[in-house]
Amino acid sequence: MKKLSLLAIATLLSCGQAMADDIKADGQWRGVGGAAASASSGNTRNSTVNLTLDAARITAVDKWSVYGQALFAQSKTDDKTNTTANLWRAGTRYDHNLSEKVFGFGGLDMEHDQLKHLNLRGVISGGLGYHVIKTADTTWDVFGGLAYKADRYSAPGVMINGSTHRSYTSPEGILGEESTHKLSDTTSFKQRLVVFPNLRDTGEFRAVFDAGLSVAMNKTLNLTVGFQDRYDSLAQSPAKQNDTLFLAGVNMKFGAN
């Protein structure tokens, strides 16, 4: 089997939290981004493309973050072509410090996932958070609030609570925590867990978990390993309730030095 691999730059998106190692509250935009592609030929032909962007602007009183991700994967055996991934995610969040420990936040997230028959998901969120730990090497925040989710599905729709839906809207709660850890001068780790209890259908919920390890190669390039997990209790066959994604590669920093 002949195989061609073109790895440019790949990185984990942590639901709007920048993976840049240097966190400076100077009001300048900083972030990481990249693209990765791979292709193989032979009995089975596979191709994958992954694009990412993650950036933040931080001051002494607030933080503005944006993120984006696009992933497409396809396999072909004989004359049969299967799409194994076709999704994109994008969003933004604004945090404002109300005191040394307390902050308020508001955000907008959007998502498309062909394999889940999800044409578009939009989520508006807001709430309050608390800085449990905030040092140069470690931060840990807990937060909570409310969100409103609106889903649009492709024909013929998806099964939710025994009936077919082309659209589904629901208010949600927000319960989450996130932390950053500077393990050494060149190595950092971040993780984030958010649970969204469904306030329309009691007992149902969504959960999002992201984690990433970054090792600096130089001032511009980092080696990264990342893990994403998305859970939706309302998902029914052929969609699965739990989706996981593992990413490894190199990312490039951009913005102010």
Whether pLDDT at 22 is above 60: no
pLDDT in tens, 80-94: 888 888 999 999 999
More confident residue, 14 or 205: 205
Q: What is the per-residue pLDDT across 25-64, written as a single tens digit (0 to 9) for each? A: 899 999 988 777 777 777 778 888 888 889 999 999 999 9
Look up the CATH number of the domain holding residue 30: 2.40.160.40
> Minimum mean pLDDT among 14-18, 30-34, 106-110: which range?
14-18
Q: What is the pLDDT of residue 14?
A: 33
Average the pLDDT over 100-127 and give the result: 96
| pTM of the complete model | 0.84
Percent of the chain with pLDDT over 90: 58
Taking the CA of residue 257 as centre, how many other CA atoms within 13 Å lie in the half-sphere pointing to its CB? 3
Phi and psi torsions of 116, nearest 5°: -95, 5
In terms of average pLDDT, the best of 12-26, 189-203, 212-226 is 189-203
Q: What total of structural domains would you count in the chain?
A: 1
**Owning domain of residue 32:** 2-255
Nearest to 63 by CA among 141, 6, 7, 138: 141
Q: Categorize the per-residue pLDDT at 247 as very low, low, confident or very high, splitting at 50, 70 and 90.
A: confident
Confidence at residue 163, expressed as pLDDT on a 0 to 100 scale: 87
6-27 mean pLDDT: 47
Residue 114 phi/psi, 5° resolution? Answer: -60, -40
Q: In this structure, which long-range contacts are made by residues 57-61, counting pairs with CB atoms below 8 Å and at least 24 apart in sequence?
A: 57/27, 57/28, 57/29, 57/30, 58/23, 58/24, 58/25, 58/26, 58/27, 59/25, 59/26, 59/27, 60/25, 60/97, 61/96, 61/97
- What is the average pLDDT score of the chain? 86
* Among 13-27, 57-71, 222-236, 238-252, the range of highest mean pLDDT: 57-71
Which residues touch 129 (CB under 8 Å, ≥6 apart)?
95, 102, 103, 104, 105, 141, 142, 143, 144
pLDDT at 17 over 60: no
The 3-state DSSP composition of the chain as helix, strand, coil percent (nearest 5) reads: 0, 70, 25
Q: CA 147 to CA 72: how far, in whole Å? A: 28
Mean pLDDT, residues 106-119 taken together? 94
Per residue in 198-224, pLDDT (tens digit) is 999 999 999 999 999 999 999 888 888
- pLDDT at position 18: 37
Torsion over CA: 251, 252, 255, 257 (sign): positive
